[in-house]
Chain A
């Protein structure tokens, strides 16, 4: 850290032309349009500089941590080596990726297949559902500062999950996708593409995990498209190793009367950046953007969000909660944009930081850009410690201080978790948070 302030980081690091050429050769069987897009993205990645200090989208971020050296595109690993254990969620299907390749799966029922649900790898989808993929895969350019990393993701994306939910389908249980980084120095590029047709309803969960405590590089993305009246719940639970540098970006499009809820749980990584981008494209669209972060040690979590209201009568609600311990640092930068014609917009944005250490640092940049007058937009940001009165109340009833604090911390998170209506999913996320806090 001390010496890195003066040294210049390589803008491309381990990602050399040879690495790209080898990757391109390995996916040469995929459609030509996709390979062209990859080449174009590769050029963009090389052309774009690393974020600079004067870059508003990277304000407060530790730029010296964006080191792209020391990583490689990893080889395949057997599924048995992952230490993959059941997580107690009742699910409709499962895909497990390790080091950018599918290593295990639990297919969806024949019934669902018959109804037209597609749940398979992106490579297969590129080959068999090319038009669908072409229309939606990485269709929206990033607007929050990660152009370079999105270009890298596009260039080196090998495989991911493809989920297609036909008109009117309702899945009772979630579809789960696991993305592992499974060898030291592994660079992984997870991707999940979800297309929900009219009035479809489903829950999709991405788990991001490290199979070892090594240094990993993760550069992922998910594209969520909710057509008219669709109801999509998307959960991402990130538990990368403590040495991981991670970038994850999300693009959500909600069409007429669609409702998308996304919940991001951030627990792992050394330095993690998450960009979330919701477009409310037609009247009646609603986006619920939720996030929970437990930051400890010297972890840095950098979350940037954009709520774009492009049509009248749309609504969005954002609630990002961070609990900060030790010397951890969080950045929340949110922006609500209301386009000139998006009258009757109802947008809300809230960032709550729970300060649990005297050395932690919370940065909040809650922003608004409003260009229509008949709207209701509010935002709020607070940073404070556990309420001493609440603590006292519990202690007065015979609960030890430590137990009382734990209860209050879970209470802090429960407001967000309770928005999930799938019981086993809710419980497993709570357990993930609990296991991190217990370890501290």
Chain B
């Protein structure tokens, strides 16, 4: 890792004090010392003042301010969930975090200051030149405005509303207020309360009855118009019979000046609707990524979460589906890759609340070096339901002798008319496979990559093409340092 102070000596690195509240870890990965000028900056620390400030900058309706203030109270009252979660959470210093930075970001970093290995990663991933600069934080925005308004124009002809959270609540309260904060109540957990207090950014989407959105809606385009979503808030409503695919994130490493990211994503699929939500998370490995994601599927509706976590220091994310209507269907497809210094604590929640609802969870994790991946799941089938089915499969692959994996599912079934099955396995890459490939002239690293890619292949295929191609290259990269 190149030392930033060599190239940057004029400005004192402010990131050290304000933006990296975490001590004791290697912070060089995301530690870009550059001065920022923000049009609006709420300062560090969280208080009622911060919340009022955010709300006034956004010119919000009084009910939203009230919603935020109530959330702040709940956030402060709730203890850290360390009775089940990792103690690493205690290293978050809430007083040193910036809770709001609005547009107008003009980073003064040059391409030369971007560490070489990151440039190399971009190159290996085949990221276009202009996107590289944006991803490295050299350019606050790349040429995405055009792409966003293009997509927005196309879908608005179908009556689709695709805006950010501020605009959504201001311009379309009649549509969004009804569901906002209903799928994930403010007090669901400490971090959903935090998000509810300080949220900004994210997407609000409404797809009218029967409308099938042909192209995936990508946050990739939208979010650039603002800052990266540190506390983004997304609400997607698919009206009866509507279909929509939403994608967020990208496979390239993302660098952020903040070490805490806490999003809330709510999905509502009304009768017969289908929502597919695809996430590729690759934050720098000093980031705490604590996300709450949940959808409600009404009668015969279908919600599918496709979730891939590669980056961050600690990710805690358990996408859920509440199967509220008869024959609703929920699915979570999850891939996690944990390398040195990383803990991917991911999983799924399936809450069955109507007859003949079905859910499927397939989770695969790969732990490399000292990396730790954890699967946590909840499957709940309450009393007097019939014909409900759940299938859960979790497979963990351990690459290095001291890699770690944990599995903590919780399954509750009432009654004799439902069935659940859960299976998990832990294994390492087969020595025979590696030997076979080496015999045929592959290096150990190539053989390892091939084998690991084979392990997740059936899930990776469910991602859009460009994502799965990038994912494959990324795994190649991660595997390179892991052998011999």
Query: Chain A interface (Cβ within 8 Å of chain B)?
Result: 54-56, 59-60, 340, 343, 353, 355-385
Contacts and interface: CB of A to CB of B under 8 A. Distances in A.
B11 interface: no
Given A54-B83, A340-B402, A383-B420, A370 B415 contact: no
Contact of B415 (A59, A358, A365, A366): A358
B410 interface: yes
Contacts of B424: 366, 368, 378-380
Tell me the dominant secondary structure on chain B's binding face.
Answer: strand
15 contacts: A60-B412, A340-B402, A356-B416, A358-B384, A365-B408, A365-B411, A367-B407, A368-B407, A372-B398, A373-B399, A378-B425, A381-B421, A384-B419, A384-B420, A384-B421
B83 A56 contact: yes
Nearest to A353: B413
Contact of B406 (A353, A367, A376, A378): A367
Contacts of B419: 382-385
B457 to A, nearest CB: 20
A380 B412 CA distance: 14
Given A355-B416, A362-B412, A384-B420, A376 B427 contact: yes
Q: B interface, how many residues as a size bin?
A: 35 or more
B388 to A, nearest CB: 11
B27 interface: no
Interface of B: 83-84, 367, 383-384, 396, 398-428
A6 B424 CA distance: 39
A371 B404 contact: yes
A364 B408 CA distance: 10
A373 B400 contact: yes
A356 to B, nearest CB: 6
A360 B417 CA distance: 11
A357 B417 CA distance: 9
Nearest to B405: A370
Contacts of A360: 414-416
Contacts, number: 131
A350 to B, nearest CB: 10
Give the top 8 A-B pairs by smallest Cβ distance, nearest first: A373-B398, A384-B419, A355-B416, A368-B407, A385-B416, A383-B413, A377-B426, A364-B411
Nearest to B396: A370
Given A370-B396, A372-B402, A364 B428 contact: no
A185 B83 CA distance: 35
The winner among A55, A60, A356, A360 for most chain B CB atoms within 10 A is A360
B401 A343 contact: yes
A375 B404 CA distance: 11
A358 B415 CA distance: 4
Contacts of A362: 411-414
Given A358-B415, A359-B415, A368 B406 contact: yes
Contacts of B412: 60, 361-364
A358 B409 CA distance: 23
A323 to B, nearest CB: 11
Nearest to B81: A54
Nearest to B414: A361
A322 B466 CA distance: 47
A287 to B, nearest CB: 18
Given A60-B412, A360-B415, A368-B407, A375 B422 contact: no
Contacts of B404: 369-371
